[in-house]
Amino acid sequence: MKKIILSLFIVVSLAFNLRADEGMWIPMLLQNNEQEMQEMGMNITVEDIYSINHSSMKDAVVLFDGGCTGEIVSDKGLLLTNHHCGFDWIQYHSTVEHDYLTNGFWAMSQEEELVCPGITAVMLKSMEDVTDRVLEGVDERRTSAEERAEIVANNIDKIKAEAEANTDYQVIIRSFYNGNKYYMIYNEVFRDVRLVGAPPSNIGKFGGDTDNWVWPRHTGDFSVFRIYVSPDGKAADYSENNVPYKPNYHFPISLKGVEEGDFTFVFGYPARTNEYLPAVAVNQEANVIYPVNVDLRGKILDIYNKYQEKDPKVRIQYASKHAHLGNGWKKWMGVVEGINNFKGVEKKYDFDKAFTKWAYQSRARGAYLTLIDEFEKVYAEYEPYRLATTYLSETVLNIEVVTFAASFNKLSKVTKDTPQEEIEKLIENAREATKVFFKDYHQPIDEEVAAMALQEYINNQPADFRPELLNTIVEKYDNVQSYVDELFAKTMFTSEEDINKFLDKFKPSKAKKLAQDPALMAYNNVMDFYEKNVKTKAIELNNKINDMQRVFMRGQMEYHAEVNPDKMMYPDANFTLRVTYGKVGGFSPRDAVRYKHYTTLDGIMQKENPDIYDYVVTDRLRELYETKDYGRYADKDGSIHVAFIAGNHTTGGNSGSPILNADGHLLGLNFDRTWEGTMSDLIYDPSICKNISVDIRYVLFIIDKYAGATRLIEEMTIIE
Ligand code: ARG
Ligand code: ASP
d(CA 693, CA 658) in angstroms, rounded, equals 9
DSSP string over 412-435? GG--TTS-HHHHHHHHHHHHHHHH
Which atom of ligand 1 is the closest one to the Cα of 212?
Answer: 10
Q: Is 655 in the pocket of ligand 1 (CB under 6 A)?
A: yes
Which atom of ligand 2 is the closest one to the Cα of 82?
Answer: 4
**If you take atom 3 of ligand 1, which residue's CA is the nearest one?**
672
Q: Is 84 in the pocket of ligand 1 (CB under 6 A)?
A: yes
Please give the distance, rounded to the nearest whole angstrom, from the Cα atom of residue 362 to the centre of ligand 2: 42
Report the 10 Å Cβ neighbour count for 227.
24
Contacts of 86 (CB under 8 A, 6+ apart): 65, 195, 198, 223, 225
Our mutation pick for probing the ligand 1 site, out of 64, 84, 669, 675, counting the most ligand atoms within 8 A of Cβ, is 84
Q: Which of 82, 67, 70, 62 is nearest to 222 (CA)?
A: 82
**If you take atom 7 of ligand 1, which residue's CA is the nearest one?**
84
Which residues are annotated as catalytic? 84, 221, 655
Please give the distance, rounded to the nearest whole angstrom, from the Cα atom of residue 67 to the centre of ligand 2: 10
* Residue 141: band (very low, low, confident or very high) from pLDDT cuts 50, 70, 90: confident
* Residue 18: band (very low, low, confident or very high) from pLDDT cuts 50, 70, 90: very low
Q: What pLDDT, in 10s, does the model give residues 100-136?
A: 999 999 999 999 999 999 999 999 999 999 999 999 9
Position 124 scores a pLDDT of 98
Ligand nearest to the CA of 614: 1
Position 19 scores a pLDDT of 52
Q: What pLDDT, in 10s, does the model give residues 426-460?
A: 999 999 999 999 999 999 999 999 999 999 999 99
**If you take atom 2 of ligand 1, which residue's CA is the nearest one?**
672
Please give the distance, rounded to the nearest whole angstrom, from the Cα atom of residue 567 to the centre of ligand 1: 32
Ligand nearest to the CA of 319: 1
Q: Which residues line ligand 2 (CB under 6 A)?
A: 68, 650-655, 671-673
Please give the distance, rounded to the nearest whole angstrom, from the Cα atom of residue 268 to the centre of ligand 1: 17
Which atom of ligand 1 is the closest one to the Cα of 324?
Answer: 11
Please give the distance, rounded to the nearest whole angstrom, from the Cα atom of residue 323 to the centre of ligand 2: 13
d(CA 144, CA 226) in angstroms, rounded, equals 49
Our mutation pick for probing the ligand 1 site, out of 83, 91, 212, counting the most ligand atoms within 8 A of Cβ, is 212
Q: Is 672 in the pocket of ligand 1 (CB under 6 A)?
A: yes
Please give the distance, rounded to the nearest whole angstrom, from the Cα atom of residue 655 to the centre of ligand 2: 5
438 in Cβ contact with 496 (< 8 Å): yes
Which atom of ligand 1 is the closest one to the Cα of 652?
Answer: 4
Q: Is 474 in the pocket of ligand 1 (CB under 6 A)?
A: no
As a whole number, mean pLDDT of residues 578-606 equals: 97
Position 261 scores a pLDDT of 97
* Residue 10: band (very low, low, confident or very high) from pLDDT cuts 50, 70, 90: very low
Phi first, then psi: what are they for 267, rounded to 5°?
-120, 115
Position 14 scores a pLDDT of 41
Instruction: Give the count of alpha carbons within 13 A of 262, CB side only.
Output: 21
* Residue 566: band (very low, low, confident or very high) from pLDDT cuts 50, 70, 90: confident
Ligand nearest to the CA of 326: 1
Q: Is 323 in the pocket of ligand 1 (CB under 6 A)?
A: yes
**If you take atom 2 of ligand 2, which residue's CA is the nearest one?**
652
Which atom of ligand 1 is the closest one to the Cα of 331?
Answer: 1
Please give the distance, rounded to the nearest whole angstrom, from the Cα atom of residue 654 to the centre of ligand 2: 6
d(CA 309, CA 193) in angstroms, rounded, equals 37
pLDDT at 17 over 60: no
Q: Is 212 in the pocket of ligand 1 (CB under 6 A)?
A: yes
Please give the distance, rounded to the nearest whole angstrom, from the Cα atom of residue 679 to the centre of ligand 2: 13
Ligand nearest to the CA of 69: 2
- Terminal-residue alpha carbon distance, the chain: 61
Please give the distance, rounded to the nearest whole angstrom, from the Cα atom of residue 295 to the centre of ligand 1: 19
Q: Is 327 in the pocket of ligand 1 (CB under 6 A)?
A: yes
209 in Cβ contact with 322 (< 8 Å): yes
As a whole number, mean pLDDT of residues 27-42 equals: 97
Position 238 scores a pLDDT of 98
| Angle at alpha carbon of residue 555, lines to 554 and 558, rounded to 5° | 90
As a whole number, mean pLDDT of residues 637-643 equals: 98
Position 95 scores a pLDDT of 84
d(CA 714, CA 708) in angstroms, rounded, equals 12
d(CA 548, CA 379) in angstroms, rounded, equals 11
Ligand nearest to the CA of 673: 2
Please give the distance, rounded to the nearest whole angstrom, from the Cα atom of residue 498 to the centre of ligand 1: 37
Percent of all residues in the chain with a pLDDT value above 70, rounded to a whole number: 97
Position 20 scores a pLDDT of 60
What's the distance, CA 442 to chain centroid? 28
Please give the distance, rounded to the nearest whole angstrom, from the Cα atom of residue 116 to the centre of ligand 1: 22
* Residue 5: band (very low, low, confident or very high) from pLDDT cuts 50, 70, 90: very low
* Residue 563: band (very low, low, confident or very high) from pLDDT cuts 50, 70, 90: very high
d(CA 64, CA 225) in angstroms, rounded, equals 10
Taking the model in full, what pTM does it have?
0.93
Q: Which of 397, 417, 415, 416 is nearest to 407 (CA)?
A: 397
Read off the DSSP letter of residue 578.
E
Position 503 scores a pLDDT of 97
Our mutation pick for probing the ligand 1 site, out of 85, 272, 613, 655, counting the most ligand atoms within 8 A of Cβ, is 655
d(CA 216, CA 528) in angstroms, rounded, equals 46
d(CA 225, CA 656) in angstroms, rounded, equals 12
**If you take atom 5 of ligand 2, which residue's CA is the nearest one?**
652
pLDDT at 4 over 60: no
Please give the distance, rounded to the nearest whole angstrom, from the Cα atom of residue 267 to the centre of ligand 2: 13
- DSSP H or E run through 33: helix 31-39
**If you take atom 7 of ligand 2, which residue's CA is the nearest one?**
652
Our mutation pick for probing the ligand 2 site, out of 332, 655, 690, counting the most ligand atoms within 8 A of Cβ, is 655
As a whole number, mean pLDDT of residues 78-84 equals: 98
**If you take atom 1 of ligand 2, which residue's CA is the nearest one?**
672
Which atom of ligand 2 is the closest one to the Cα of 69?
Answer: 9
pLDDT at 527 over 50: yes
Which atom of ligand 2 is the closest one to the Cα of 654?
Answer: 9
d(CA 175, CA 181) in angstroms, rounded, equals 6
Our mutation pick for probing the ligand 2 site, out of 221, 671, 676, 688, counting the most ligand atoms within 8 A of Cβ, is 671
Position 7 scores a pLDDT of 40
Ligand nearest to the CA of 327: 1
Please give the distance, rounded to the nearest whole angstrom, from the Cα atom of residue 101 to the centre of ligand 2: 20
Rounded to whole angstroms, the maximal C-alpha distance in the chain is: 84
By DSSP bridging, strand 718-719 and strand 253-254 are parallel
Q: Is 213 in the pocket of ligand 1 (CB under 6 A)?
A: yes
Ligand nearest to the CA of 70: 2
**If you take atom 8 of ligand 2, which residue's CA is the nearest one?**
672
pLDDT at 84 over 80: yes
Average pLDDT, whole number, for the chain? Answer: 95
509 in Cβ contact with 423 (< 8 Å): no
Our mutation pick for probing the ligand 1 site, out of 82, 671, 674, 675, counting the most ligand atoms within 8 A of Cβ, is 671
